[in-house]
Chain A
């Protein structure tokens, strides 16, 4: 029995505590905005916020989130996510779209943690864990700069 909070709601799951959080979210809670890309913390498609910090849900056992707060792309709120989503649309970042929830979670975390507009090097450091097979990287970078401007960082 694992109790935790998902997108602001109390959740109790009576399933194998070893199950990666990714599959509990997708298969049991039907929150499918969080994607599977590798299962081994190599691609970032499965990124969620765990107590406000980005985390690879594919390598996070359910037992580890007991009592914690998990936020998925579906439950993100606040000025940073709004600025990031608006920039993503204006710059038309996604291609196939599969990696984009993860990109957006990492980008939002970066902006939440930035006191000033992130440099290219800071963007590289924050985003290097998110693979995009469609190579939308030029636009990911541009959209993060754009969102930082919106947030007046």
Chain B
């Protein structure tokens, strides 16, 4: 596996001009090209032969953008289409988008050099590429019109999807076939930002209508002729292995067609979900838990805490720590504990496969096609070119579908293979399978210590973090330098604060519990640890939470300063307490974007209740402010849900204690605060917004709660009961 990823990490092929492809049977213009990220341009272009394209112009004038990024709610279909439409001078009404299939050679994420969606990179890596796609198509349409009308290209205008010269006018569709025969321009010119008419303006997402009338097609909605629904009986503890099973009672359930052993457990194949559920319940399975994780959460925390106290390996060090603590007149210390978390996307994991005559076709919300396609092919015993993955809408992911292990692709491949015949199969997980299923946000312990001198300066700052590595044991391990997984502690190091001395340490822990990126990854815990602990330190130093942070920022931290100042102005910050309510502030830089939030909190039944949230975000050029605001609102709700409720815990013997929304609760509408978002004006290239709204909310909430009640939050989620 790791060699595959090393290969995938090589720079994406460069280049323009590459090769224009006309899809057999598809009318109109289809374009395929690659544009390398900056810094790779000096390399020789590789030839590109691709059966697919980024753009399709139909005879009916529709322009369909094939999104190389999975649409799971963060808006890349709309964002990529906006970039194309801007340079194409299309009218927004003619734009459409659909998922591009798995094809590394064509649809690589230029931030990864491999096909995949994550790290809030969709718009950042597509910013130049998709505008080039639009500009190239525009140039070819103009060339076609010039040839058709016998006029110079320079006299042709394009606006709102209409190509014109004097009285002559044409839509794109009528010229698309001819445009496809035109030479691809060497270097199409991109617009000056002052000429943007779509970029920077609000518009609803392209997939919104289909998501309001029930017609949007997700994986679970797919039906194929003769399809069987498959549920898998999975191990009762992480790392448990299958010993034996008795399927007699399961096979007696009407509708159950077969039962097979696969790597993930025992698969029950049935006509319809209900029969599969009944069949699975009727199975008698024996598991071996000798090698399983049998520690409870309490025991795991004890082990991780001991490791954090020992300091771990140094990942950042600056100044003389001992001297820093020696100069201090006050020392503040804390240990903060973060549980395992399930992503719980609203559509639980699922996949559909159809195998026929030695070829396989799959449909699902595939987030890492680079890993999934070869994995499914291997499980099926087919060459990857005979495996087509149709990437379709996902009902949420938050990282859950982006597996280095490609376990869903492996599972659906094995399900089809084990059936021993051609046919269509749909694998789905119940909510209980999802909550029990692992691939959690890593359980984490932070050990923090800070020294403050008489003048209120922070003379020393140490933070030691203990958790499992997400990348270890996956193809991504090849990217780890010096055995260090930066996603384990990102956000705790490289802080723009002036501390007299600092040391950040990391202890890599082991457990059979599989862990995964979870909306904002390391920042889910580091922002909380840093920003809630710093708040206590500032208080001890006699400083205001907002002004204290601003004073600590290094001079070069201008974007950090801007979001903090902006959010302070938005909330009319007057300190942490006002009229019986408390206000907490926190900020984080994640995935290239800067977000600061202030949360207004009151006490309700002994627990914090967030009533309002102000949010300032700097994500570079705002492509669609509507989507940026939506992602901040959603990130805030997701983070609030997490801080108030989310915990996956293992009981004695290692079994997961939660199973569904009654004991893994979700934030509901009456708990959602009012949210006000301000986007910082910027001319810097765009960065992501899917994740960066999440990190600041938790610490801002804890800071407000401490101001209100004096209670320090050293373990998440917030206790269900407290003694205010």
- The interface of chain A, by Cβ under 8 A from chain B, is 16, 19-20, 23, 26-28, 30-40, 42-43, 45, 72-74, 85, 88-90, 92-101, 104, 123-125, 127-141
Check A104–B254 contact: CB distance below 8 A: no
Nearest Cβ on chain B to A81's Cβ, whole angstroms: 9
Return chain B residues, CB-CB under 8 Å to A38.
Answer: 431, 660-661
Report yes or no: B666 in contact with A95, Cβ–Cβ below 8 A: no
Which of A16, A39, A101 lies in contact with B431, CB distance below 8 A?
A39
- Nearest CB of chain B from residue A133's CB, rounded to whole Å: 4
Interface string of B268-285 (1 = CB under 8 A from A): 000011110000000000
From known contacts A37-B431, A96-B394, A96-B395, infer whether A131 and B666 are also in contact, taking CB-CB under 8 Å.
Answer: yes
Assuming the contacts A27-B229, A99-B346, asked whether A39 and B274 have C-beta atoms less than 8 A apart, the reply is no
The reply to whether A85 and B213 form a contact with Cβ atoms under 8 Å apart is yes
In whole angstroms, how far apart are the Cα atoms of A35 and B216 in the complex?
11
How long is the Cα–Cα vector from A139 to B677 in the complex, in angstroms?
A: 13
- A96 near B346 (CB under 8 angstroms)? yes
Write out, one digit per residue, whether chain B residues 632-648 have a CB within 8 A of any chain A CB (1) or not (0). 01111110110000000
Closest to B275 in A: A16
8 pairs, CB–CB < 8 Å, chain A vs chain B: A16-B254, A31-B214, A37-B661, A94-B212, A98-B347, A101-B214, A134-B396, A137-B668
The 7 closest A-B CB pairs, nearest first, are A33-B214, A135-B637, A98-B395, A96-B73, A97-B211, A95-B73, A32-B221
Within 8 A of A (CB), among B261-319: 272-275
Interface: B345 (CB within 8 A):
yes
Q: Kindly state the separation between the CA atoms of A100 and B344 in the bound complex, as whole angstroms.
A: 16
A27 touches B273 (CB 8 A): yes
Question: Which residues from B are CB-within-8-Å of A136?
Answer: 630, 633-634, 637
Count chain B CB atoms within 10 A of each CB in A90, A138, A141 and give the residue with the most: A138
**C-alpha spacing A135/B638, complex, angstroms:** 6
Could you say which of A31, A136, A140 has the most chain B C-beta atoms within 10 Å of its C-beta? A136
Which residues of the partner chain B approach A19 to less than 8 Å between Cβ atoms? 272, 274
Residues of B within 8 A of A33 (CB): 213-215
Partner of A45, one of B216, B254, B274, B346: B346
**Nearest A residue to B635, CB-CB:** A135
Residues A128 and B214 in contact, CB atoms below 8 Å apart: no
B208 at the interface (CB under 8 A from A): yes
A71 CB to closest chain B CB (Å) equals 11
A38-B431, A95-B73 given; A139·B346 CB < 8 A: no
When distances are taken between beta carbons in the complex, the residues of chain B under 8 Å from A39 are: 430-431, 660
Please tell me the number of chain B residues within 8 Å of chain A, measured between CB atoms.
62
Query: Which residue of chain B has the shortest Cβ distance to A18 in the bound complex?
Result: B274
Q: Contact mask B423-438 → A, CB, 8 Å, 1/0?
A: 0000000110000000
CA distance A38 to B656 in the complex (A): 17
A133/B396 contact (C-beta < 8 A), A23-B272, A38-B660 known: yes
Partner of B633, one of A125, A127, A128, A135: A135
Across the interface, which residues of A come within 8 angstroms of B709, CB to CB? none
Which listed residue, B204, B205, B274, touches A90 by the CB 8 Å rule?
B204
Q: Report the Cα distance A16→B145, complex, angstroms.
A: 62
Chain B 652-690 interface residues, beta-carbon cutoff 8 Å to A: 660-662, 666-670, 672, 674-675
Q: Are A138 and B633 in contact (CB under 8 A)?
A: yes
Residue of B nearest to A73 (CB): B214
Residue B117 at the chain A interface, CB threshold 8 Å: no
Closest B residue to A91 by beta carbon equals B204
Q: Given A96-B395, A100-B211, is A137 in contact with B216 using a C-beta cutoff of 8 Å? A: no
Compute how far the CA of A91 lies from the CA of B150 in the bound complex, rounded to whole angstroms: 46
Q: A72 contacts which chain B residues (CB < 8 A)?
A: 214
B393 within 8 A of A: yes
In the docked arrangement, what's the CA distance between A43 and B348, Å? Answer: 13
Say if the beta carbon of B223 comes within 8 Å of chain A.
Answer: yes
Contact between A23 and B220 (Cβ–Cβ < 8 Å)? no
Contact B661 A43 (CB under 8 A): yes
Is B49 an interface residue, CB under 8 A from the partner? no
Q: Which residues of B have CB within 8 Å of A30?
A: 223
Q: A146: shortest Cβ distance to chain B, in Å?
A: 13
Is B207 interfacial (CB 8 A cutoff)?
yes
Taking each of B73, B215, B393, which has the highest tally of chain A beta carbons within 10 Å of its own beta carbon? B73
Extra inter-chain contacts (4) besides given A26-B221, A98-B345, CB under 8 Å = A96-B395, A97-B218, A127-B668, A141-B669
B244 in the interface (beta carbon within 8 A): no
**A82, B668: Cα distance in complex, Å:** 25
- A134 and B274 in contact, given A40-B660, A96-B73, A139-B630 (Cβ under 8 angstroms): no
Cβ–Cβ contact A89 & B204, under 8 A: yes
Cα-based distance from A101 to B217 in the complex (angstroms): 12
Instruction: Assess whether B214 is in contact with A132, with CB atoms less than 8 Å apart.
Output: no
A39 to B207, CA, bound (A): 26
Whether B459 sits at the interface, judged by CB under 8 Å, is no
Q: Is the beta-carbon distance between A98 and B346 smaller than 8 angstroms? A: yes
B32 at the interface (CB under 8 A from A): no
Bound: A97/B393 CA distance, A: 9
B-side contacts of A128, CB under 8 Å: 668-670
Bound-complex Cα distance A39 to B346 (A): 12
B216-228 to A contact mask, C-beta < 8 Å, 1/0: 1110110100000
Say whether A89 contacts B660, CB under 8 Å: no
B626 within 8 A of A: yes
User: Would you give the shortest CB distance from B394 to chain A, in whole angstroms?
Assistant: 7
CB distance from B604 to the nearest CB of A (A): 14
A28 nearest CB neighbor, chain B only: B272
